[in-house]
Amino acid sequence: MSSIDESSRTFSRRSFLTATLVGAASLSGCVNVPSAPPVVSFRPTPPPPPAFEPRPTSEMYGAMADSGYQIPAVPVSKMDPRYLRQEVADPTGEAPGSIVIDTSQHFLYLVRGGGRALRYGVGLGREGFAWAGRAQIERKAMWPKWHPPAEMIQRQPELEKYKTEYDKATGEWRGGMEPGIMNPLGARALYLYQDGKDTLYRIHGSPEWWSIGKSVSSGCVRMINQDVIDLYDRVPDGTPVLVTNGLRTV
């Protein structure tokens, strides 16, 4: 039987042991625009996700059209095959329908039940921006806007044009980067909440396929756009998420 390191159950920022920097990944990061906590009602345990039907990687990661946007093919021959979408033995011990992110291995598991899980490769926060703990998905968005945090704009003044401001007259947030293929949040975003409050962390897509398996972004869990679309379609609101710095077998 597998279990999760108990130290991961406290939600906290945590450093990674390694920090591989990729220059093109400097635009990564998550929104910090305040949002009202959702009304959270009791939800039953999410059902097991749909069956995974293996396909050639050229099909899974081929070019695709989505909501009017053209997503380019991923050059999978240049990637470590460990980080490509695949069904594996479940190492998590979590309930079917749960998401488990192992930051030490750069894997995201969607637990299927029956001792199996669907595994995706992810990119994670570089040293000083990493995090761990339990949360749940309370909101999902297709082709979201990106709102760089104020501290990121301070570090990178060229992002000032994407600054977000609250319009009291309309009650709306204005600014940010419009959705698109180069938007750092990619094709989908899954918003993580804890105790009804937005953690400001997201599982999201990214055009930077080369960052998968590395620690380069400012705190969030990034996926290949084709993978985040697949995950988005498999998980409902209320899906439990565990981020842990290593799975262990006992």
Residue 221 lies in a domain: no
Which span out of 2-11, 39-48, 115-124 was modeled with the highest average pLDDT? 115-124
Confidence at residue 39, expressed as pLDDT on a 0 to 100 scale: 42
CATH number, domain containing residue 56: 2.40.440.10
Q: pTM for this one?
A: 0.77
* Domain membership flag for residue 220: no
The boundaries of the domain holding residue 64 are 2-38+50-215+232-249
| Concatenated DSSP letters of the chain | -EEE-GGGGS-EE---S-----GGGGG--------PPP-----PPPPPPPPP----HHHHTS-EEETTEEEPPP-GGGS-GGGS-EEEE--S-PPTT-EEEETTTTEEEEEEETTEEEEEE-BEEPTTS-EEEEEEEEEEEES--B---HHHHHH-GGGGGG-EEEETTTTEEEESBPSSTT-TTTTEEEEEEETTEEEEEEEEEES-GGGTTSEEESS-EEEEHHHHHHHHHH--TT-EEEEES-EEE-
Amino acid at position 63, single letter: A
Q: Would 224 be classed as within a structural domain?
A: no
- Average the pLDDT over each of 108-122, 159-173, 195-209, 225-239 and give the range with the smallest value: 159-173
% of the chain beyond a pLDDT of 70: 76
pLDDT at 152: 81
Number of domains in the chain: 1
Choice among 49-58, 81-90, 110-119, 210-219 with the minimum mean pLDDT: 49-58
- The confidence score (pLDDT) of residue 162 equals 85
Q: How confident is the model at residue 127 (pLDDT cuts 50, 70, 90)?
A: low
Residue 159 within a domain: yes
Above 50 in pLDDT, residue 7?
no
Higher pLDDT, 7 or 205: 205
End-to-end CA distance of the chain: 6
Number of C-beta neighbours around residue 21 at 10 A: 11
**Spatial separation of the C-alpha atoms in residues 144 and 237, rounded to whole Å:** 16
Over residues 68-92, the pLDDT tens digits come to 999 999 999 999 999 999 999 999 9
Does residue 237 form part of some domain? yes
- How confident is the model over 173-232, as pLDDT tens digits? 788 888 889 898 999 999 999 999 998 889 999 999 999 999 987 768 999 999 999 999
Portion of the chain with pLDDT greater than 90, in percent: 51
Q: Is 200 part of any domain? A: yes
Instruction: Specify if 146 maps to a domain.
Output: yes
Residue 222 lies in a domain: no
